Amino acid sequence: MTFTITFLIVFAIVLIAIGAYAARIRIATAEDYFVAGRTIGIIATLFGLMATQMSAFIFMGMGSQAFLMGTGSFTQLIGDFVVMFIFFHVFRRAWQLGKAHGYITQADLLVDRYESPTFMRLFPSVLGIVAIIAGHFAIQFIATGLIFNVISRGALPYWFGVLFTAGIVLAIVLVGGFRATAWTDILLGLWIVVSLLLILVFTLNSLGMGLGAAFQTIAEKFPQMISPPGDSPPGRPPYWTHAMIISWLIILMGFPLYPHMWMRSYAARSDKTLAVTALAWVPLTYLVCFVPIVVGILARLFWAGPQELGFPPDAVIAMLVTRIVPAPWLIPIILAGALAAIISTINGSLIGISAMVTHDIIRSKISPGMPQEKAVWWGRLVVFAATVVAVLIALARLNFIYVLFISGTGIVTLFLVPLVGGLVWPRLNRQGATWGLLVSEIMLLWMTYGPKSLGGGFMNNPAWLGLPPTIWALIVEVVVTVVVTLTTEPPSKKVEEKFFSVAPAGE
């Protein structure tokens, strides 16, 4: 126990020291604080995008999903090629525009592209804040409390993990802003990779067989686990149908469109930084995602099904580590990989939320012309306030955050049309983008949470024709956007010159 506490303290000190070192570079403007003056290099960009996207899900949700449902979870690996496309083409174009016009948030680009200073400033920003809080922020504090409890084998209470993590992220982000976040991402990303590889090695060592033999054993004992639609939790139909696999390949395009992920395109040193990041994305994320899926499936050889666990399925990988790692002192070091993923995600989320509140709401609508130094001050104040709110939610264990989590990725997936469409289709206009986004987000809300008697209440489960609500909302968005665009006036010459007169990245 003494070693665990000592290790956690050293872990925190090292991260805070890196953040403090990054903060030596003066933060004088909002651009410095929110996008690090557009100076982030390849390694920090790559590991930052990876660690921020994966979050606690990589150690908890993904392993649990594989344990319950089987190899259909490998669908997420195929989706990495879709994400690579977004990084290589869309993010590089966003960087060019951001560099040329001083963009900090998604809304900056949307306002200029659609000449919509109010709707495209506020609607996507408010939705983005909700999506980050639901999908990538508050739930991370809940996860960190659980991880600390496992790391210490119950000696450290849930609340200690929540508050300890809050102290680390505040020390990093308050002082150093995005630059400190990016620099710590390098260590955090490496820790995630090494931890996962060690978990795989110890799992196979404990089974006493190689990977091929282990999967052969799974095929013999649990044949439903090795092909779609896979197994399913008691009382639920199989999840990984062909329709859901295709749907997730589309939905995964939405992950890079989370506002705090998009801001990393602006923060890159050059479009070449993003090009190299995109090319390295698939091998890195294949490694990172492959391990928890494989280990989650192989956990069936330790516990035959969810009824034998005796703990929530989300903890299956963490509990497996406590069972298979021979040296107790190694357990906190390995499980710190989960803490690394959580801290990186919280840091990036804090910067994103702070930028949207400070830049898109306060600076743009409440106090135009705010001095740069005051914008940085407000940014730090929002970071502190957002952390306090998330901690209170985590300590209270409010169930509504799990309900909101279901729609987080769906909300940002619907940003595909105005963001990506706006960069590739010159004819797309304000009316089409506005009505498409508005109608589709309302439809997503209804299909997810509305009364079942009126066509809603599907949550994130298959709906009509086996497709989830996000896909139906996206289909409607495309139709509404195209029809309204083609029946109204085209964008102005000013928009055409700003967004399409300069050759896209790579041309």
Q: What is the mean pLDDT of residues 470-475?
A: 94
Residues spanned by the domain of 8 = 2-406
The answer to whether position 79 is within a domain reads yes
pLDDT of 152 over the 90 cut: no
State the CB neighbour count (10 A cutoff) for residue 399.
Answer: 8
pLDDT band (50, 70, 90) for residue 221:
very high
CA 83 from centre of chain: 12
Let me know if 446 is exposed, middle or buried by CB neighbors in 10 A (0-12, 13-18, 19+): middle
Distance CA 173, CA 175 (A): 5
Residue 245 falls inside a structural domain: yes
Tell whether 277 is covered by a domain: yes
For the segment 198-216, what is each residue's pLDDT rounded down to a tens digit? 999 999 999 999 999 999 9
Q: In this structure, is residue 233 part of a structural domain?
A: yes
pLDDT per position as a tens digit, 159-172: 999 999 999 999 99
Number of separate domains in the chain: 1
Give domain status of residue 429, yes or no. no
Q: Given a cut of 60, is residue 446 above it in pLDDT?
A: yes
Q: Give mean pLDDT, residues 1-28.
A: 89
**DSSP H/E element including 132:** helix 119-132
Residue 210 per-residue DSSP state? -
Cα–Cα dist 119/107, whole Å: 10
pLDDT the model gives residue 471: 93
Q: Is the pLDDT of residue 304 over 90?
A: no
Average pLDDT of the segment spanning 30-57: 92
Rounded Cα distance between 120 and 109, Å, is 9
Is residue 420 situated within a structural domain?
A: no
d(CA 372, CA 22) in angstroms, rounded, equals 20
- CATH number of the domain to which 265 belongs: 1.20.1730.10
Cβ proximity of 350 and 169 under 8 Å: yes
Q: What is the mean pLDDT of residues 106-131?
A: 96
**Backbone phi, psi, residue 74, to 5°:** -65, -10
Looking at residue 506, what is its pLDDT?
Answer: 47
Most confident of 7-21, 76-90, 143-157, 389-403: 7-21
Asked if residue 226 lies in contact with residue 298, where contact means CB atoms within 8 angstroms, the answer is: no
Per-residue pLDDT band for 503 (boundaries 50, 70, 90) equals: low
Q: What is the pLDDT of residue 507?
A: 46
Among 119, 90, 114, 94, residue whose Cα is nearest residue 104: 94
Mean local confidence (pLDDT), 253-262: 92
Give the whole-number percent of the chain exceeding pLDDT 90: 64
Average pLDDT over residues 21-41: 91
pTM, to two decimals: 0.91
Q: What is the mean pLDDT of residues 481-490?
A: 97
Residue 417 lies in a domain: no
Q: Is the pLDDT of residue 158 over 70?
A: yes
Whether 153 shows a pLDDT value over 80: the answer reads no
Which pLDDT band holds residue 146 (cuts at 50, 70, 90)? confident
Confidence tier at 426 by pLDDT (50, 70, 90): very high
> Does residue 341 contact residue 56 with C-beta atoms inside 8 Å?
yes
**Which pLDDT belongs to residue 17?**
95
What pLDDT, on a 0 to 100 scale, did the predictor assign at position 400?
53
Rounded to whole angstroms, how far apart are CA atoms 259 and 85? 18
* pLDDT of amino acid 61: 82
Q: Is residue 418 part of a domain?
A: no
pLDDT mean across residues, the chain:
90
Q: Which of 144-158, 339-353, 406-420 is the least confident region? A: 144-158
